A and B are shown apart, each in its own frame.
Chain A
């Protein structure tokens, strides 16, 4: 049985869903322990037990420092003879995986969307060239490090032994000092975590009109995204941009409102399970990937849609 380590993440004071996902994936491949470093880690760690974590190593630390986090995790990997490390393919996951790979001299595969157990190795499938093609690869090292595209594998409940152990992380050796941290103003769920994402494009015509999307998002706890055209028009913040030069999202349902579906936009949401498009142009390329499409004026569709959702939600 392989020894698996899953690396969890905390965001906005809460355990990220991606943390549960990497533990769930780990459980499929062997005995899984987890690491959680961040503010309140030791109390948030308990939430991971239900997904199969046997031991969760925690460090309650407020500041982020990739170099020292990676060093502490590398020690753990060595002392516990870990074979496979699963990490969310997030901003911090990218950093930790790269640094861990360097420290441990281990192969790193990033952004996995499919994993196949081949006995002594895992065959990983990942999108490249913004999803225009896929590549299969495997690591030839032990340990091996794999980052997982959030929302691509789902979470599975599974009882774990659930021991929680503190580890020490020496922040004094961090090479970069965090002077301050400003939490994102929005209370909304982070885009990469959301099960439903609704995005607006140039068709929204103003930042004010994003209220139409907020009304929907508030009801169903959706994330709000945007096309680059909406961001470049200063209607919304850049961190909401979905696409090749923005975020990659893989929700269960992605709703594109007044977005044409340029190839650079599709790069960021093309792996969503269901895609809904609302656009008045029947020839808009977004309809080529849409599971459900409405060809009509969004300013007539959205208010009626929000009313219907309200009725369904009671």
Chain B
């Protein structure tokens, strides 16, 4: 089974993001595999353990993406593709999807795993654009994957509940939390990952123009929340009573 995993490099979830002059200050940020993509990678490794084959990871990103590809190697990926673009965060998902689609146009993958959304953008678009471009099946928010010989069954979160879907291969699957618990890379894996080759391509190599249909005007810090109020009172009951009063009389929701 030939599996591709799309992984996006994002700032560590704890990272402090500061903005100056309309731009994000990236110095000092530690980059990790976007949490949902890590779940997608784990599922790919489990599929390989079950059916054999290879797991290839692919990312579109700048220099910092290399460390993320190494982590994927350390977890157990077989191959890594880096589509190099320092400006990737200013491009819309359509351009990213186009770059990914053309980079893999000569390959045949049975399953493409991705994340249900990037933890930076929260878009959740790229995998579905790829599905449209390649004209193949896609299921998003997967919670369980069962591999058959020529069919795959996927349980996924759906509006108001969960659905069980059946698809032929190839299929794009976006991972939801709860699909699995990603493994930690072994020390041996980490050591070995440092020497593994990375297949690097540029947009030019792929014949892609980075023509985004979205113009980014600028970044800004989040609005300050007005200072809050700690409710004082004799005991817990008095504080509870005052809170109920505030919600009723000031906020007027109750």
Contacts and interface: CB of A to CB of B under 8 A. Distances in A.
How would you classify the secondary structure of chain A's contact residues: helix, strand, loop or mixed? mixed
A238 B122 CA distance: 19
Interface in A289-314: 289-297, 300-302, 304-305, 307-309, 311-313
A57 B79 CA distance: 47
B219 A135 contact: yes
A5 interface: no
B122 A292 contact: no
A286 B120 CA distance: 22
Contacts of B165: 176-179
What bracket does the count of chain B residues touching chain A fall in?
35 or more
A289 B128 contact: no
Given A132-B222, A252-B251, A182 B161 contact: yes
A267 B222 CA distance: 12
B45 to A, nearest CB: 19
B244 A308 contact: yes
Contacts of A23: none
Nearest to B136: A175
Interface in A74-93: 90-92
Contacts of B164: 178-182
Contact of A107 (B92, B97, B177): B92
B147 interface: no
A139 B14 contact: no
A137 B247 CA distance: 36
A184 B161 contact: yes
Contacts of B125: 94, 97-98, 101, 108, 110
A107 B94 CA distance: 8
Interface in B125-174: 125-129, 131-133, 136-141, 153, 157-167, 171
B93 interface: yes
A180 B163 contact: yes
B97 to A, nearest CB: 7
A133 to B, nearest CB: 5
Contacts of B9: none
A245 B132 CA distance: 26
B253 to A, nearest CB: 5
B214 A138 contact: yes
Interface string A17-60: 00000000000000000000000000000000000000000000
B229 interface: yes
A295 B230 contact: yes
Contacts of B19: 133
Interface string A120-149: 000100011111111111111100000000
A1 interface: no
A11 B160 contact: yes
Given A292-B228, A293-B229, A98 B240 contact: no
B36 interface: yes
B119 interface: yes
A134 B163 contact: no
A4 B57 CA distance: 40
Contacts of B141: 91
A99 B167 CA distance: 18
Contacts of A248: 122
A253 interface: yes
A241 B140 CA distance: 18
B236 interface: yes
B213 interface: yes
A190 B158 CA distance: 12
24 contacts: A9-B159, A11-B160, A67-B131, A70-B132, A91-B159, A99-B131, A101-B93, A102-B128, A103-B132, A108-B94, A128-B121, A132-B16, A132-B222, A133-B17, A136-B216, A176-B166, A181-B162, A184-B160, A238-B178, A263-B14, A264-B13, A292-B228, A292-B229, A307-B240
Interface of B: 10-11, 13-17, 19, 24, 35-36, 92-94, 97, 117, 119-129, 131-133, 136-141, 153, 157-167, 171, 177-178, 212-223, 225-226, 228-231, 235-237, 239-241, 243-248, 251, 253-254
Given A64-B159, A108-B125, 5 more contacts: A67-B138, A94-B124, A139-B213, A282-B230, A312-B248
10 A-B pairs closest in CB distance: A107-B213, A300-B236, A308-B244, A98-B125, A102-B132, A94-B124, A304-B240, A98-B128, A175-B137, A305-B240
